[in-house]
Amino acid sequence: MNFYITTPIYYANDKLHIGNGYTTIIADILARFHKLAGEETFFLTGMDEHGTKIEEAAAAAGKTPQQLVDDNHKLFIETLKALGISNDFFIRTTSEKHKKGVQKLLTTLYEARTPSGEPVIYKGNYEGLYCTGCEKFITEKELTNGLCPAHLTKPKAVKETNYFFRLSAYLDQVEQLIQSGRLKIMPEGRRNEVLGLIRQKLDDFSISRERVKWGIDLPFDPTQRTYVWVDALPNYITAIGYEDNPEEFDKWWNKSQVVHLMAKDILKFHAIYWPAMLLAANLRVPDILFIHGYISLDGQKISKSLGNAISNERLIKDFGRDATRFLLTSQFPFHQDGDINYRRLYEKYNSDLANDYGNLVSRVMKLAFTNFDGKVPTPDDTLEDQSVELRAAIASTPDKAIELIRNIDVLGAVETIWNLIRCANRYFDYNKPWELAKKGQMQLLGTILYRSLETIRIVASLTSPIMPEKSEQVLGMLGFPKGYRPIISDIDRPNFLKPGASLVAGENVFPRLQVPTAEVAATPTVAAVGEDGIITIDDFAKVKLRVAEVLACERVPDATKLFKLQISVGEEQPRQIVAGIAEFYTPEQLVGKKIIVVANLKPTKIRGIDSNGMLLAAKSGKQLSVLTVDRDLPPGATIS
């Protein structure tokens, strides 16, 4: 069967961060493994370029929305290239291909009827709440203390006429698809979460906005633009020819295993809205939705607004492209939240790549050049070389790794391959081939080196989806031509290396890296905070200033100068800061203000209270004034 793998389309208001890189690397590895297994594969990623947040981000940057997304598209492509991503297509929601596909789907839905005969799309009046951060309408029952639970920001009151999708008519069918396993949601906990949401009898959802200008016109009412999810989700079919290439669409959507990867924050839209839309349009639903966890840094959620994100480019600079791919996929299971510690990245690089894999290649190649003139030795299977464990590992590893990949267990596949590497090292160490060379036992030495070289070939082939450049380097050292792409039938063939073939000397595949002696931080600490809540900036060039909205403010007990503030800095969860301004303001004077904060401070404690950032204020004599913005800029806007 063909294999069709997708990432979410990433929001185009900034460059790709490491969370996006993580998802895309996993998708790339899955695609490459399926190609290695001999399957035709299509890998899609792209950009979500419409919506209110893009309009606001563009206005804050002094650009048109199109200029903003065009600029960020260039950054996206640069990052994908740097990460070695082999996507077959990059979809942009501003492209004519996508727009025409969305309008075709909207027309189909507008003309369709539910099983009971009602119109799938209907016009209605909406009066309620809208969260810009979520890009969705939100009900009173979903709020937490009057705030959106995802962003802890107060949603805007909206009154307008929109078009709605009759979700209620398809909830039972979606539930049945999930229960039967036809629509497989992984891991199991996320499947149960979706079933719980369905049983809450979700409301019909809006597919359009009359006030949003940056979007795709409804084909049946050009005064309205598509709502962001109805614009974004169809990318999975518009990219493969839904509107303009029926043959390709049939091949990749109807005759392939279709797998969507995504983070858990967009689960409901993919697992409920998307299948319902497809059912209403009489289209096939995907096969698998795999929901992965979040990445944190030293126990803290990585986010743009906190200023603690490790960039993809930073990792590549420090570890190299292929090592970055390995390190991000070998730390924790894909379906679980995972924490990155930068020092542990160095340790894992040296342990797994330099010691286990790189050292094995170096030792075997050195002995082969020293004792066999750089030729593949001839093995003698009649000799006893304690290879039972290694032979068993060689026989089982390829199929086991492929099976784990089919279950979207990339970490399991990596660990399986590394078990083979460690088995090869044990085999090498047990037989002590360096001593056999000294004793002149060349037949046994040649046998051990041949089996070690064969193991290296299998390892390099199986790691080619994870580390394509390094694998090509190792296979080149074994005499394979540049551009050779291993396939599973070659990997499984015993004694594939030809005795007498020339080996090629090469550089150390994974040289050891020096672990920094100082604490390794993802972002520089730009300031120190004192007990009085005043900030001292050491290096202004490193400071990231953001607009923040004060959501709540209260005095710190037993402290005359300190306030504890809850602030919103854009898309992420609100953060807490402590500020020494209580002598100059009341809490009521600050709530609702748009202030300026230093967003990339290292979190600290003041009087035992967590403080994650610091506001800016001006002082003259005994007077102090908090700096505010006089335009209606959104929280998270950059101050430059």
Query: At what angle are helices 171-180 and 188-198 packed, to 10 degrees?
Result: 160
- Write down the pLDDT at residue 175: 97
Report how far residue 162's alpha carbon sits from residue 594's, in angstroms, rounded to the nearest whole number.
31
pLDDT of residue 538: 41
Give the side-chain half-sphere CA count within 13 A for 362: 13
Q: Report pTM.
A: 0.78
Mean pLDDT by 10 residues, the chain (640 residues): 96 87 96 96 97 87 94 96 98 97 98 97 84 70 77 78 95 97 96 94 89 90 88 97 97 98 93 98 98 80 62 93 96 84 91 96 97 96 86 95 96 96 95 95 96 97 98 97 91 90 95 72 38 41 80 82 86 81 85 87 78 86 80 75
- Topology (CATH) of 318-491: Isoleucyl-tRNA Synthetase; Domain 1 (1.10.730)
Distance separating alpha carbons of residues 471 and 460, to the nearest angstrom: 5
φ, ψ of residue 272 in degrees (nearest 5): -125, -60
Instruction: Confirm if 240 and 40 have CB atoms less than 8 A apart.
Output: no
| Exposed/middle/buried for residue 200 (C-beta within 10 Å: 0-12, 13-18, 19+) | exposed
Residue found under tokens 């961060």: 17
Instruction: Count CB atoms within 10 A of the CB of residue 542.
Output: 14
pLDDT recorded at residue 522: 40
Spatial CB neighbours of 582, under 8 Å, sequence gap ≥ 6: 555, 556, 559, 560, 561, 562, 563
502: left (phi over 0), alpha (psi -120 to 50) or beta: beta
What is the three-class DSSP state of 281? Answer: coil
Collapsing DSSP to helix, strand or coil, 172 comes out as helix
To 10 degrees, what angle do helices 18-36 and 312-319 make?
60
CATH number among 3.40.190.10, 3.20.20.70, 3.40.50.720, 2.40.50.140, domain 527-639: 2.40.50.140
204 DSSP assignment: P
Rounded to an integer, what distance in angstroms lies between the CA atom of residue 309 and that of residue 303? 6
Candidates 218, 223, 210; CA nearest to 159 is 210
| Residue 524 CA: distances (Å) to CA of 133, 528, 540, 543 | 28, 12, 11, 9
Amino acid 135: pLDDT: 65
Angstrom distances, CA of residue 518 to CA of 343, 515, 521, 537, 604: 10, 9, 9, 21, 19
Rounded CA separation 20/311 (Å): 10
- Reading the block at residue 106, the tokens are 């909207």
Q: Where are the domains of the chain?
A: 2-121+168-292, 318-491, 527-639
Residues in Cβ contact with 576 at an 8 Å cutoff, skipping those fewer than 6 apart: 564, 565, 566, 567, 609, 610, 611, 612
**Any alpha helices (H) in 112-184, and if so which ranges?**
171-180
CATH of domain 2-121+168-292: 3.40.50.620
Helix 442-462 to helix 388-406 angle (10° resolution) is 10
Nearest to 523 by CA among 206, 248, 309: 309
